[in-house]
Amino acid sequence: MKSFLVTVVGVVATATAAQAVELTGGAIELSYSAFMDETDLDKVSVSGSLEVAFNRNISAQFDLGNDSFGTTDLSIGSVGLHGIYHVSDVTSLGAYYTRDNFDIGPVAV
């Protein structure tokens, strides 16, 4: 009986609150653009973002994107991360980091 009570007290003393995260927003976008009379010069963009809330005040947003430019073989990929602190219902502060990768394709010499 004593060992059972010691075990129960130990479990209760070391138990922590349950942690949860919530997906609070997100978007997926696909766009295409070109000139009316010259459709060889076009741009295709694909991007997406996802916001995850850790609690009422702190959240993070993750971004991915890719842009491809028609006949030029130019491609731009980007990855972004936002840290967001919600001060109130109408005010938020944050920090942002992004990394872009430019791929110009094969270069003729």
Asked whether residue 40 is assigned to any structural domain, the reply reads yes
Asked whether residue 87 is assigned to any structural domain, the reply reads yes
pLDDT (average), residues 30-50: 87
Tell me the Ramachandran region of residue 98: left when phi exceeds 0, alpha when psi lies from -120 to 50, beta otherwise. beta
Asked whether residue 37 is assigned to any structural domain, the reply reads yes
Amino acid (1-letter code) at residue 66:
N
Distances (CA, A) of 6 to 14, 15, 52, 109: 12, 14, 39, 78
What does pTM read for this prediction? 0.66
Asked whether residue 92 is assigned to any structural domain, the reply reads yes
Which one, of 73, 62, 45, 67, lies nearest residue 98 by Cα?
62
59 against 36, higher pLDDT: 59
Give the tens place of pLDDT for each residue, 63-102: 999 998 877 778 899 999 999 999 998 999 999 999 988 8
CB 77 within 8 A of CB 68: no
Q: What was the pLDDT predicted at 60?
A: 94
Asked whether residue 1 is assigned to any structural domain, the reply reads no
Q: How far apart are CA 30 and CA 20, in angstroms?
A: 31
Asked whether residue 9 is assigned to any structural domain, the reply reads no
Asked whether residue 3 is assigned to any structural domain, the reply reads no
Q: How far apart are CA 66 and CA 78, in angstroms?
A: 6
Q: Indicate the pLDDT class of residue 107, thresholds 50, 70 and 90.
A: low
Domain that holds residue 40: 18-103
Q: Indicate the pLDDT class of residue 103, thresholds 50, 70 and 90.
A: confident
The number of distinct structural domains making up the chain is: 1
Asked whether residue 69 is assigned to any structural domain, the reply reads yes
Amino acid (1-letter code) at residue 39:
T
